[in-house]
Homo-oligomer: A and B are copies of this chain.
């Protein structure tokens, strides 16, 4: 970028005020519904590059209702801070045997988060996530945090419902799942239009996260359905069989990323 220009991302201006994404730290806090799944590994090589690793068969679908801020100002104009997303996590085993999480698919409903995701190597596209909220009152519409409360979460991408989840709280303590348990390898890179016939060069990175904080996690029984879609490829993971579920609130701060060790 030009000397004296302060935008972290486009558009590029001297002040950087209009940049879609400001520089980190990025503070996030959100309401999460986590559905752990076992998945089919037979098409691993179509989802995870062999040089990166292979699917272990464990994964998680997260539905998240986030607030994000840099310096607090976005919380005063929440169209700049709030977004919802559905995150698909698949555990991988690297050639050296180390295990990480990998995000083959993710959909979000705000541009700021979409680009922030691409910078971190999360393959974000736009999609619409709806999630029942658990409110701290006893009422038929409040889905309070107690045994028997039922909650739904759904994802729609380009006009087709793609994922549906239904959770029933058990009243028991729950576990952190999916990306809450191990770092997620990101795939950073864009193709170069001056060589449009060449594949993009992709770098694998790990996020630099600080200040993670969570509420208690609350266990749930869950059903999860993946529906057919003419473009999306979630079906590469086969049938997603629920192995556990939890809900709760998470906060964390992303300050950058580091290259994945080779």
Chain A contacts to B: CB under 8 angstroms: 1-15, 17-18, 20, 23-24, 27-31, 45-47, 49-52, 65-69, 72, 75-82, 104-106, 110-111, 114-115, 118-120, 123-126, 128, 130-133, 135-143, 150-154, 156, 158-161, 164, 166, 187-197, 199-202, 205, 211, 213-215, 230-233, 236, 249-253, 255-259
Check B211 against A139 for contact (C-beta < 8 Å). Answer: yes
A135 → B minimal CB distance (Å): 5
Residue of B nearest to A149 (CB): B75
Contact among B65, B67, B215 with A132 in the assembled complex (CB-CB below 8 Å): B67
Contact among B6, B78, B252 with A153 in the assembled complex (CB-CB below 8 Å): B78
Check A17 against B139 for contact (C-beta < 8 Å). Answer: no
A157 → B minimal CB distance (Å): 9
**For residue A140, which residues in chain B have a CB less than 8 angstroms away from its CB?**
27, 29, 69, 72, 211, 251, 253
